[in-house]
C-alpha cells in the first residue's frame, strides 16, 4: 500500500437495514419492515467524483488532533488550515496552529515549502499536473500536505471498495444537512459527514487511530467556497524578509 492509499484509505460497501414500528387502522400492530438506507460506498464515491469536477475551490478547515504525550496525558492541539486550489496545476495551503505554522505553494511545476516559525523555505521542481505533483511529493519527499484526501481529482478511481461501512442517518454540520457515514478497519475508524443534494461536499470527518493507546482522534470541519476563482497571486511565493533557503532532501529510502 503506497502513501496516498494510506492517507485516503476509505473503502466501502454495505446495505444497512432497520426495523420500523407503526400503527394501522386504530389497532396497534408491530411489523418489521426492511428498509434500505443509502450505501456509504455510493455516498463517498459520489463526493469524490464531485470534487474531481471542480476546477477551483477554497476551503477553510479547523482540525483538532489528539496527542498522547509521554504516555501520560492526552492533549488536543488545534490547527486552522486554508486551501486554495485551481486545476490542473496550482495549490496553496496555509497552516496556523498550536504546533505548526507553515505554507505550501504549487504553481505549474514549482513547489515551495515555507516554515514561518524558523523563516526557512525550500524549493523543488515537480510535475506540473497537480495529481502527479502530490504523488511525487508524498512518495519521494514524504511531504505531508494537509487534507490530502480532498485535493486529488481522481480519488474515486484510486480507491477500491473493500470494507464494510455504516449509515447513521442525517445530521447537520454548520446548519448543512449531511449524510453521516462510517468505516471501520483493523487500525483505524473514520466517520464522514457529506452534504446532501447536488453538491456532495465533505463537511466534516473524524479519524480514530486504534493502533495507539487511548484511541487518539482527529476531527476536521470544513467550510467551502466553490464558485469563486482564487486570486492568482495566492499561488506565488514572495520570499519574506531575511528568509533562508534550505535544501529539501528526498526520503532516505530513495537515496
Distance between CA atoms of 15 and 164, rounded to whole angstroms?
9
Task: Read off the pLDDT of residues 171-187 as tens digits, 9 standing for 90 and up.
Answer: 999 999 999 999 998 89
Determine the 3-state secondary structure of 81 from DSSP: strand
In a domain, 84, yes or no: yes
Secondary structure letter of residue 26 according to DSSP: T
Question: Cell numbers 434500505 correspond to what residue?
Answer: 36
Predicted pLDDT of residue 212: 81
| Model pLDDT for residues 43-91, shown as the tens digit of each residue | 999 999 999 999 999 999 999 999 988 878 889 999 999 999 999 999 9
Number of domains within the chain = 1
Domain region containing 158? 38-99+152-234
Give the per-residue pLDDT at 69: 84
Q: How many CB atoms neighbour CB 38 within 10 A?
A: 18
86 lies in a domain?
Answer: yes
Q: 192 and 202 in contact (C-beta within 8 Å)?
A: yes
pTM, two decimals, is 0.82
Render pLDDT for 91-124 as a digit per residue (tens, 0 to 9): 999 999 999 999 999 999 999 999 999 999 999 9
pLDDT value for 156: 87
What whole-number distance in Å separates Cα of residue 47 and Cα of residue 80?
23
In a domain, 146, yes or no: no
| CATH label of the domain that carries residue 187 | 2.50.20.10
The set of residues, in sequence order, having a beta carbon less than 8 Å from that of 53 and lying 6+ positions away, is none
Has residue 141 been placed in a domain? Answer: no
Q: What is the mean pLDDT of residues 191-202?
A: 97
Amino acid at each position: 500500500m503506497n502513501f496516498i492509499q494510506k492517507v485516503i484509505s476509505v473503502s466501502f460497501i454495505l446495505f444497512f437495514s432497520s426495523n420500523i414500528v407503526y400503527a394501522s387502522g386504530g389497532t396497534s400492530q408491530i411489523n418489521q419492515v426492511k428498509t434500505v438506507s443509502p450505501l456509504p460506498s455510493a455516498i463517498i464515491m459520489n463526493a469524490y467524483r464531485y470534487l474531481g469536477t471542480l476546477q477551483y475551490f477554497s476551503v477553510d478547515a479547523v482540525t483538532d488532533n489528539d496527542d498522547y504525550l509521554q504516555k501520560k496525558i492526552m492533549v488536543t492541539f488545534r490547527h486552522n488550515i486554508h486551501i486554495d486550489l485551481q486545476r490542473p496545476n496550482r495549490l496553496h495551503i496555509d497552516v496556523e496552529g498550536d504546533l505548526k505554522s507553515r505554507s505550501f505553494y504549487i504553481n505549474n511545476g514549482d513547489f515551495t515549502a515555507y516554515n514561518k516559525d524558523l523563516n526557512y523555505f525550500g524549493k523543488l521542481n515537480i510535475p506540473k499536473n497537480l495529481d502527479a505533483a502530490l504523488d511525487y511529493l508524498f512518495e519521494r519527499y514524504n511531504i505531508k500536505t494537509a487534507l490530502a484526501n480532498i485535493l486529488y481529482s481522481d480519488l474515486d478511481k484510486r480507491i477500491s471498495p473493500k470494507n464494510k461501512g455504516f449509515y447513521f442517518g442525517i445530521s447537520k454540520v454548520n446548519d448543512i444537512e449531511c449524510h453521516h457515514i462510517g468505516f471501520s478497519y483493523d487500525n483505524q475508524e473514520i466517520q464522514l459527514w457529506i452534504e446532501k443534494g447536488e453538491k456532495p461536499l465533505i463537511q466534516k470527518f473524524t479519524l480514530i487511530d486504534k493502533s495507539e493507546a487511548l484511541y487518539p482522534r482527529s476531527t476536521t470541519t470544513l467550510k467551502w467556497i466553490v464558485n469563486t476563482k482564487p486570486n492568482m497571486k495566492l499561488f506565488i511565493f514572495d520570499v519574506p524578509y531575511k528568509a533562508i533557503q534550505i535544501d529539501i532532501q528526498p526520503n532516505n529510502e530513495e537515496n
